[in-house]
Amino acid sequence: MSRLEGRRILSRRALLARWWVLPVAGTVGAFGYMGWYGSRVLLGKQRAGAPQFVSGQPQRVAAISELAQDWAEVNFTYDKRPCTVLRIPRAVPGGLNLGQTHYVAYSRICTHLGCTVNLVRDPEVLAFAFNYRPPPDANHPQLGCRCHYSVFDPLQAGEAVFGKANGPLPRVRLERRGNDLYATGIEPAPKLGD
């Protein structure tokens, strides 16, 4: 046997003796990534904070009579974004309060990857389809994204409460003009995926 063949055999032996490093390193890396991502999704939710409206062209979005009861909803488009206005049972930061009647409006673009969110009225649909059961003090309609099952609470200023989305939905500034509600500004759209 030549000297070159001996080295080749030794290098094969050395490789075979250390082959276990690759799957172990891959497994450690995969579990490390899953831990980081899981903690980001579960613990990395951003708070809504004070509204940061950017003024826009006033636009009529609904007649007050269209929102005659709590959880009535009207969808509209503002600043080229699909939005929704809701009548809600209590005041929310960034909402409009008219005596004992409260309204809030949000962009319907999910802050995860930009799918459209919809109002989910049935808590059993949230439990079955979204795998989310709200706590007893939050057992009311929620805004849900059907793409990746993120849930946003309209009574917590549109904050993400479940799923991959971490940022709150941008709020729309509302004003009353006569018997109508007008949109007059909207918060900047966040960078998707943050």
Tell me the pLDDT tens digit for each residue of 140-153. 999 999 998 999 99
Per-domain residue ranges for the chain?
Answer: 3-43, 54-186
Q: What is the CATH number of domain 54-186?
A: 2.102.10.10
Q: How far apart are CA 117 and CA 119, in angstroms?
A: 7
Q: Is the pLDDT of residue 113 over 70?
A: yes
pLDDT at 11: 73
Task: Tell if the pTM clears 0.75, that is, is over it.
Answer: yes
**In which band, very low, low, confident or very high, does the pLDDT at 31 lie, cut at 50, 70 and 90?**
confident
Q: How far apart are CA 89 and CA 153, in angstroms?
A: 13
**In which band, very low, low, confident or very high, does the pLDDT at 120 lie, cut at 50, 70 and 90?**
very high
Q: Would strands 81-88 and 73-78 be described as parallel, antiparallel, or unpaired?
A: antiparallel
